[in-house]
């Protein structure tokens, strides 16, 4: 019984750590996509600034959710995932909207 409790606890801790790592990795990938869009000219300055503001707001929200003392709940992680999905779609749309920086 004690082994089962230890294994379950360890799995939960590793799962939460992996989730946090996924959130950070996804933030880094999206930041890279925005920077790459600016370098290639696919994103205008205005588009990049708008995407950066959305990314910063999401980062602040994640930080706030973590600081409430419990870390991220499953509901908060799901909400963050949906917001990151929406931001990813926005990056794609802006990069492929036929507006180019001159």
Could you say which DSSP state residue 50 is in?
A: H
In a domain, 40, yes or no: yes
C-beta of residue 14 within 8 angstroms of C-beta of residue 68 = no
C-beta of residue 43 within 8 angstroms of C-beta of residue 52 = no
Counted domains in the chain: 1
The answer to whether residue 102 scores a pLDDT higher than 80 is no
In a domain, 54, yes or no: yes
- Domain hosting 14: range is 2-95
| pLDDT confidence band for 42 (50 / 70 / 90) | very high
In a domain, 67, yes or no: yes
The answer to whether residue 16 scores a pLDDT higher than 70 is no
């Amino acid at each position: 019984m004690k082994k089962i409790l230890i294994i379950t606890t360890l799995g939960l801790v590793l799962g939460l750590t992996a989730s946090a790592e996924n959130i950070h990795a996804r933030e880094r990938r999206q930041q890279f996509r925005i920077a790459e869009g600016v370098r290639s000219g696919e994103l205008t300055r205005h588009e990049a600034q708008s995407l950066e503001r959305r990314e910063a707001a999401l980062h602040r929200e994640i930080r706030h959710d973590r600081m409430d003392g419990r870390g991220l709940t499953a509901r908060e992680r799901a909400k963050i995932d949906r917001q990151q999905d929406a931001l990813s779609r926005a990056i794609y749309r802006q990069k492929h909207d036929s507006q180019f920086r001159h």
